[in-house]
Each structure stands twice: as C-alpha cells, then as structure tokens.
Amino acid sequence: MPSRTSATSPLALALAFVVVLGLATAGAVGEAMATYQNDAVGFRVDHPASWQTLDGGLERTSVDLFDESGLGFATVAVYPTSDLPSTDPATLLELLFDGHVMFVEVLETRDGDAIDLGGVAGVVRHFDGVSTQGAGAPQTGSVYVASTDELLIVISVQANADHIQAYRPAFDAIVASFALAP
C-alpha cells in the first residue's frame, strides 16, 4: 500500500466515506441495538441491530452503518492526527466541508453547538444540499468532528431530506454511544 504523504489524505478518506450513498431506512424508535467494535483503531459505537456494517478503508479506520432500503446512512471514522495540519476540531471541520462541496451541490450549512464524542470535545455542522451522486436527491445531514492530540474523530449522518426525521433517533443513538477504547 502506498504511504500517505499529503496532510489532507486522512480528511479526503473521511470525506469519501461521508458521501457514499448507503442504502438505509432508519431504525424504528426502541429498536434493539447492536455494538460495532473496531479493535484496529480502538472505538465502539452502537447502531440499530437491523443495520449492516461495512468496514471502511484498507486501514479499517471507519465503519459505514446502513440497512437495506435506501435513504440514509452513518459513517464513523477515527484517524491519527499526525498527518493533519491541525488538531483543532473547528479547523478540521472547515477542511472537510471545503471538500464536501464536490459531492453536494447548493450546500447550505448551519453550525451546531459544541459536542462531546465519547469524552472528546468537538463541533458539529448541519447541512442541506443536493447529492451529486445517483439521482441528485435532496440530502440533509450532520458532520461531527472531535480531536485529541493523537486522533481525529468524524461521525457523519446523512439521509434523504424527506426522511431525515425518521432517521434522527438512530443517528442520535449512534452519536451518543461513540466511545474510544480505554
């Protein structure tokens, strides 16, 4: 495998997972949950038990979470910060969104509150736009970014705009359950 020398390559990889249109329908409120654990990077996250998981990337630094029917998905990714230009979550979020425009047109964003991802402080940005992938469906989602001196954490949730409210409980559960391994 070629080595990464670009300072933004982990961000580009995270972005690639963010924009892949998974096939999903939100888990019903109260649906049983399952836990995905990534021992390669050291994180775990809960998701609706009916959803499928797909390990992402050659280095297994992420997971895509989705079910079979097709309107939304979540991606959880953890990367070393050693190749990044900053460890500041707000700066890293800006870099992610600079690249995100090529996958979502007419991008409108709203900054959210400060967040906590498994004890790590971060930021969130919500977005609306039109997917440049597939049929160009309206998309709504959020990108959560947190970082330590060693790790960048990116959780992206995205759904067809007409179905975002049905997905919200599952997305909230995914974000709330994220934890780094001790």
Of residues 100 and 30, the one with the higher pLDDT is 30
Q: In whole angstroms, how far apart are CA 168 and each of 10, 55, 60, 86?
A: 27, 23, 26, 30
The rounded distance, in Å, linking the Cα atoms of 48 and 50 is 5
Is 137 a domain residue? Answer: no
Full domain range(s) for residue 99? 9-103+115-123+144-155+165-180
Residue 72 belongs to a domain: yes
Q: Residue 172 above 80 pLDDT? A: yes
Q: What pLDDT, in 10s, does the model give residues 51-98?
A: 989 887 657 788 989 877 767 789 999 988 888 888 899 888 888 777
37 Cβ contact partners less than 8 Å away, ≥ 6 residues apart: 43, 44
Please report whether residue 71 resides in a domain: yes
Q: Say if 43 falls within a structural domain.
A: yes
Confidence of residue 6 (pLDDT cuts 50, 70, 90): very low
Residue at 134 is within a domain: no
How many domains are there within the chain? 1
Listed range (25-39, 45-59, 74-88, 93-107) with the worst mean pLDDT = 93-107
pLDDT at 175 over 80: yes
Tens digits of per-residue pLDDT, 114-141?
999 999 999 999 988 887 776 778 888 8
- Which pLDDT does position 57 carry in this prediction? 63
What's the CATH code of the domain at 59? 3.40.1000
pTM over 0.85: no
Question: What pLDDT is recorded for position 58?
Answer: 59
Residue 22 within a domain: yes
Count other Cβ atoms within 10 Å, centred on residue 163: 18
44 in a domain, yes or no?
yes
- How confident is the prediction for the chain on average, in pLDDT? 79
Whether 62 is in a domain gets the answer yes
The contacts of residue 94 (CB under 8 Å, 6+ apart) are none
